[in-house]
């Protein structure tokens, strides 16, 4: 029935095939644009998080008076009062994700070094509960890290083709 309507409107089989090819080409182009946009958004978010974490790590690891300068804090989820801002409240969830990524492929044997001075972490500090757990089986973590350095969408497309 559809073909009869098209034929009545003067569209032959060759015209229908041409329209179908154009629709497929447009669909492919749209999918590519969406992928590029998705990558750009991902790249921007994690690049900012990486830069932020670098700045915080420099401050935490080089300032000898770092612990003395920390203000008191109350954990908004538990209501627990801390005399000094604890690590899990000092770093954002995204910054901790950057630390976990870096640490997962940059371990010293089985040892993961927490950010900041050791005195910042009480003996009973639960690193897993507070977001400092490291996934030792994060095989693609290094790939994601490398993608942050990529500047062009072409490199992203090549990376997708390899997988």
State residue 38's pLDDT score: 81
Residues 53-102 pLDDT 10s:
889 989 998 998 999 999 999 999 999 999 999 999 999 998 988 888 88
Measured in whole angstroms, the distance separating CA 13 from the mean position of its chain's CA atoms is: 48
- The answer on pLDDT for 154 being more than 80 is no
State residue 39's pLDDT score: 80
- The answer on pLDDT for 42 being more than 60 is yes
Q: Mean pLDDT for the chain? A: 80
State residue 123's pLDDT score: 87
State residue 19's pLDDT score: 78
């Amino acid at each position: 029935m559809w073909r009869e309507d098209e034929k009545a409107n003067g569209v032959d089989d060759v015209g229908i095939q041409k329209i179908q090819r154009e629709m497929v080409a447009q669909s492919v182009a749209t999918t590519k644009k969406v992928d590029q946009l998705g990558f750009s958004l991902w790249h921007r978010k994690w690049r900012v998080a990486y830069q932020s974490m670098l700045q915080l790590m420099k401050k935490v690891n080089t300032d000898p008076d770092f612990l003395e300068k920390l203000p008191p804090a109350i954990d908004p989820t538990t209501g627990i009062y801390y005399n000094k801002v604890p690590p899990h409240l000092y770093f954002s969830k995204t910054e901790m994700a950057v630390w976990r990524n870096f640490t997962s492929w940059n371990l010293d044997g089985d040892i993961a070094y927490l950010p900041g001075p050791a005195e910042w972490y009480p003996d009973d500090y639960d690193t897993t509960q507070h977001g400092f757990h490291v996934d030792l089986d994060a095989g693609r973590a290094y790939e994601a890290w490398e993608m942050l350095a990529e500047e062009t969408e072409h490199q992203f497309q090549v990376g997708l083709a390899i997988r």
